Amino acid sequence: MTAMPTDLWLLLLGLGGVLLAASGIGYALAQTRGADDPVIDNLNARINAWWVMVILMGLALTFGKAGASVLFAFCSFAALREFVTLTDTRRADHMALVAAFFVVIPVQYWLVWAEWYGFYSIFIPVYAFLLLPIIVTLRGDTGRFLARVAELQWALMVCVFSVSHVPALLSLQIPGFEGRNVLLIAFLVVVVQGSDVCQYIWGKLLGRHKIAPNLSPSKTWEGFIGGALSAIVIGASLSWLTPFTPLQAGGMALIIVLMGFFGGLVMSAIKRDRGVKDWGQMIAGHGGFIDRLDSVIFSAPIFFHLTRYFWSTV
The tens digit of pLDDT for each residue in 26-64 reads 777 777 765 566 667 766 776 777 777 778 777 777 777
Report d(CA 156, CA 163) in Å as an integer: 10
pLDDT at res. 36: 66
pLDDT at 128 over 70: yes
- 104 shares its domain with 157: yes
Q: List residues bridging with 287 in a β-sheet.
A: 283
Q: Binning pLDDT at 50, 70 and 90, where does residue 285 land? A: very low
Q: Identify which has the larger pLDDT, 144 or 23.
A: 144
Residue in 42, 68, 46, 65 with CA at minimum distance from that of residue 57 = 68
Backbone angles phi, psi at 153, to 5 degrees: -65, -45
**Is 81 found in the same domain as 55?**
no
pTM of the model: 0.87
Task: Return the top range by mean pLDDT from 4-13, 24-33, 110-119, 282-291.
Answer: 110-119
Q: Identify which of 113, 108, 190, 160 has the alpha carbon closest to the alpha carbon of residue 289.
A: 160
Residues 51 and 77 in one domain: no
pLDDT for position 89:
86
Give per-residue pLDDT as tens, 145-167: 999 999 999 999 999 999 999 99
The answer to whether residues 203 and 263 belong to one domain is yes
Are 36 and 82 in the same domain? no
- Domain limits at 47? 1-62
275 and 262 in a common domain: yes
Model pLDDT, residue 13 = 82
Tally helices (H) and strands (E) across the chain.
13, 0
| The residue type at 309 | Y
| Domain termination site, one of 171, 199, 214 | 171
Same domain, 307 and 203: yes
Rounded mean pLDDT, 252-280: 86
**Residue that terminates a domain, selected from 62, 88, 108:** 62
Distance of CA 46 to the CA centre of its chain: 16
- Which of 31, 62, 93 is the endpoint of a domain? 62
CA dihedral for 57, 59, 63, 64, sign (positive or negative) = positive
Least confident of 163-177, 213-227, 256-270, 293-307: 213-227
In whole angstroms, give the CA distance from residue 23 to residue 43: 9
Based on the fold, state whether residues 91 and 196 are members of the same structural domain: no
- In angstroms, the CA 106 to CA 123 distance is 12
Q: What angle do CA 219, 224, 229 make, to 5 degrees?
A: 165
DSSP state string for 36-82: T-HHHHHHHHHHHHHHHHHHHHHHHHHTHHHHHHHHHHHHHHHHHHH
Same domain membership, residue 185 and residue 157:
no
121 φ, ψ (degrees, to nearest 5)? -75, -15
Task: Say how far apart CA 165 and CA 185 lie, in whole Å.
Answer: 10
Residues 296 and 247 in one domain: yes
Q: Which amino acid is at 62?
A: T
Q: 146: alpha, beta or left, given left = phi > 0 and alpha = psi -120 to 50?
A: alpha
> How many domains is the chain built from?
3
Residue 297: other Cβ atoms inside 10 A: 25
Helix (H, G, I), strand (E, B) or coil at 210: strand
Distances (CA, A) of 76 to 61, 135, 167: 17, 22, 12
Based on the domain organization, do 149 and 196 belong to the same domain? no
CB contact at 8 A, 129 and 185: no
What is the band of 115 on the pLDDT scale with cuts at 50, 70, 90?
very high
Mean pLDDT, the chain, rounded, equals: 86
Task: Average the pLDDT over 180-191 and give the result.
Answer: 90
Q: How many CB atoms lie within 10 A of CB 66?
A: 14
Task: Answer yes or no: is pLDDT of 287 > 70.
Answer: no
pLDDT of residue 162: 96
Q: 95 with 131, same domain?
A: yes
For residue 7, CA distances in Å to 10, 21, 61, 243 come to 5, 21, 13, 13
Does residue 253 register a pLDDT over 70? yes
